[in-house]
Structure 1
Amino acid sequence: MTRLMSRKMMCVNFDEPDETRPFEGGMGRLDVIDTDNGPVGRAVFEPGWRWSQHVKPIAGTDSCEAAHTGYVISGRIKIVMDDGDALEAGPGDFVSVAPGHDAWVLGDTPCVVIDWVGYGTYAKPAGA
């Protein structure tokens, strides 16, 4: 594992995360790295992934209740707020999303997103 930690620096490779949380149906995973500033996650959403089908059964909420602040590395994702506001994001896009939304992968390419706000409890069973 590439892991360098001191009081001034940190380098950790997502290929060897502190925790991996699989999504329902084998439709991707969330890799989590614990840092002094909180968890950072790399989500890999496979083509066909949809929050309401592949994470909702884990979360136990009607919509995604995590806030997200992240960067899309590859693939495309559509995010629709409970009130109907929507956006599409792709490679190179920064996204900030409030709680209360659904999301799904667009196209045939996995969508990979780094998020440094909302993945601390994301895809964890309710109460865990």
Structure 2
Amino acid sequence: MAGLESKSFDAPDEVRPFTDKGEAQVVTLAGGSVLKARFEPGWRWSEHLRPIAGTDSCQSPHFLYVLSGRMHVVMNDGTEAEAAPNDVVRIEPGHDAWVIGDEACVVVDFGASPAYATSHTA
């Protein structure tokens, strides 16, 4: 199948749990990873992924498309934004984030570090 690859999140290459508040499904195409992540209400990066990543803030870049729910992002420099359904959001390394409200936030991330949500996150 030269030049064409197709995979489904129905059968991801890998599933990475976020402690007790969600998970990322990972598919790999042409050596790159795409994540579909579900962040449950109450999820916060600094509580649920910091222990996995071992860094003070998230050091992965993100290029997200938000399918459902809401997420608040605060950069290390204090810049803040909210992501909502149908938003496309670029986030550079150095941030915290958390789910707003009582609905899970589901995103497709085309820009995450291949090691996102693993103990190898840069």
TM-score class, shorter? over 0.9
User: Residue 12 of structure 1 aligns with which residue?
Assistant: 7
Residue 96 of structure 1 corresponds to: 90
**Secondary structure of 2:118 counterpart:** coil
Give the percent of matched residue pairs that are identical in Structure 1 and Structure 2.
50
Equivalent in 108, 114, 120 of residue 114 of structure 2: 120
After superposition, residues 17-96 of structure 1 pair within 5 angstroms as 17-24=12-19, 26-96=20-90
Post-superposition shift, 1:108? 0.7
Structure 2: stretches of 5+ with no match in the other structure: none
TM-score (ref. length: structure 2) = 0.94
Per-residue CA deviations over 1:59-112 (Å, capped at 9, x if unaligned) read 000000001011001100000001110000111000000100000000111101
Give 3-state SS (helix, strand or coil) of 1:44's partner.
strand
Distance in 2 of aligned mates of 1:67 and 1:58: 16
The match for 1:3 is none
| 1:18 partner letter | D
Deviation, 1:8, is 2.8
Distance (Å, rounded) in 2 between the aligned partners of 1:77 and 1:15: 24
Query: For residue 101 of structure 2, what is the aligned residue in structure 1?
Result: 107
Q: Note the residue ranges of structure 1 that are not aligned, 5 or more in a row.
A: 1-5
* SS of match in other structure, 2:15: strand
Change (3 A) 1:127 1:71: closer
Q: Secondary structure at the match of 2:43?
A: coil
Task: Please give the TM-score of this superposition, normalised by the length of structure 1.
Answer: 0.90
